[in-house]
Amino acid sequence: MWHFLTLATVAPCIICYEPSKLTCPTCKSADYCSDECKKKDRALHTLLCKEYSTFAVTNPKPIDEYLSTHRLGFLFPEDSKTPQLVWVKCKLEIGADSTCRERAMLKEYFISGIPEQTQKHIRSHSLQIFKEPIHHRPERNRNQSIQHLLRGYGCPDFPVKGPHIVLAFKRPGYDYDTPDDIQEPVYQPYQDVRLSDLRLALNRLAQDEKIFESKVPNEYMLPNLKYWTSAVKVSTKDGDMRHLQVDKYREVKIHDSSDIFRNSTEIADVSKHLGFPVHVQKCSPASLWDTPANHLNGKAWFNREIEFLMMGVNANNLETWGHPDSKKWLKIPTVLIARKDEKDLTVHQVEALVRYCEEELSTSLKDKDGAHYSLEFRKAQAEKYLCKSAFEKFFQELKAKKLSEGEMSWVGTVLSFEPSRPYLGTVMKESAVQDSTKKRGLEFKPNDGGEKSRKRATGSGRK
């Protein structure tokens, strides 16, 4: 038989999960360990704090009916920026095997009446989030409340649609007498949501968002910054710059579980040899400007900066020497660039890297007299220009020029290189570089991406 345990524990802080010491005096439904954590939660908490404290009075709970009751839940509506409190009818159902369960009656919110659902588990209870099934979402409007609360996260071309309902249900502690009792069903009734559940629900809705791009900070979300890295997007003048009103080089934040850090994402060949390896990932054009007119125009689709960055620098391959792979890197309006070692990347670093490729490499790797057809010439030029010292010299000259022109944002800009590697004319695998350095009596450890990569590999770096 199951024995339910009542655990006398202190409620955890909703922000950091440390034992709480403070409770909101107004709603009495959110716990914090300190004034600092309480302040962090203020923007989201105050959306419903006063309403929550009086909701049962201003909106009395409907009278219970036979085998049914009502539970307090959250509604993320389509037509409002603010989430709402709602009473949701929950009906007790008894199955053929005499098992009991409560079913939320949600027909009024969803087209099919049978919503999809996801869960968020907390120490004391779980949240259940109901949303429109995917085949009905095209018929629904954008969810303004979720869009507002998650402003800057995710891709605007794939918006959340339809209302979302959040309910809480109990997760009782238990023990059992025999192994056979493990299979005995447990009745888990719904319970009223606490206001602290609003943050937990929002965290669950944001769980799959791996990129943040906004000039205005999001005051509702509290990401753990040690799992986020600065990356850079590079766009065309007639593409994102014109239609989204953004800069050519703009900083974004990406989560360390972003797919750009997967091995399949290409690394710019030039950057490897310069001791500054970066992943380069293609971005789909924004639907705002991806129109037939722009397809005919063509200018929005040609990102010259990326063509220079992705040029081939394998001295043994004349066909790709000094050129990008046209099948991969032509007609790419926007790319996302991130450091391989997952350190923060700045717009100035990317601009310097791109300009070095354009102003130094593109002219130096070729010769007017056709000397680049000679393997010896290609190797000599690669040895001279595909090295950290040449790039660092160019960077310092560019920085001095920018500062002389009054661009003071360059003041603190520096380069942070990975360990130097010899230029051997081809792209080498880590094992090959390791073998090479061992032969020269050097101790070499391939860069593993640092602490963030280890956390991602073990899953501890995820939200």
In the chain, the number of structural domains is 2
Q: Do both 193 and 244 map to the same domain? A: no
The percent of residues above 70 in pLDDT, for the chain, comes to 78
Q: Which string of b and e fits 316-344 if b means at least 16 CB within 10 Å?
A: eeeeebbebeeeebeebbbbbbbbbbbee
pLDDT at position 114, please? 67
pLDDT at position 345, please? 96
Residues 425 and 322: their CA atoms lie apart, in Å, by 13
Q: Of 205, 240, 265, which one is at a domain's C-terminal end?
A: 205
Q: Of 205, 235, 257, which one is at a domain's C-terminal end?
A: 205
Helices 388-404 and 347-356, axial angle in degrees (round to 10): 120
| Nearest CA among 154, 176, 148 for reference residue 83 | 148
Quote the pTM value: 0.78
**pLDDT per residue as tens digits for the range 358-372:** 999 988 887 666 656
Q: Do both 162 and 228 map to the same domain? A: no
Task: Among 79-88, 116-125, 222-231, 312-321, name the most confident range.
Answer: 79-88
**pLDDT per residue as tens digits for the range 18-52:** 999 999 999 999 999 999 999 999 999 999 999 99
Average pLDDT over residues 81-102: 86
Q: Do both 198 and 228 map to the same domain? A: no
Residues 53 and 32: their CA atoms lie apart, in Å, by 17
Q: Of 205, 234, 267, which one is at a domain's C-terminal end?
A: 205
Interstrand relation of 278-283 and 228-235 (parallel, antiparallel or unpaired): unpaired
Q: Do both 83 and 149 map to the same domain? A: yes
Q: Do both 95 and 244 map to the same domain? A: no
CB 361 within 8 A of CB 308: yes
CB 338 within 8 A of CB 449: no
pLDDT at position 369, please? 63
Q: Do both 97 and 173 map to the same domain? A: yes
Q: Do both 308 and 177 map to the same domain? A: no
State which residues form the domain around 180.
2-10+56-205
pLDDT at position 92, please? 87
Q: Do both 135 and 274 map to the same domain? A: no
pLDDT at 121 over 70: no
Those residues with Cβ within 8 angstroms of residue 439's Cβ, 6 or more apart along the chain or in another chain: none
pLDDT at 432 over 70: no
Q: Do both 179 and 267 map to the same domain? A: no
pLDDT at 441 over 60: no
Q: Do both 88 and 237 map to the same domain? A: no
Q: Do both 428 and 344 map to the same domain? A: yes
Q: Do both 181 and 63 map to the same domain? A: yes
Quick check: is 195 in a domain? yes
Position with higher pLDDT, 160 vs 10: 160
pLDDT at position 134, please? 72
Average pLDDT over residues 84-104: 84
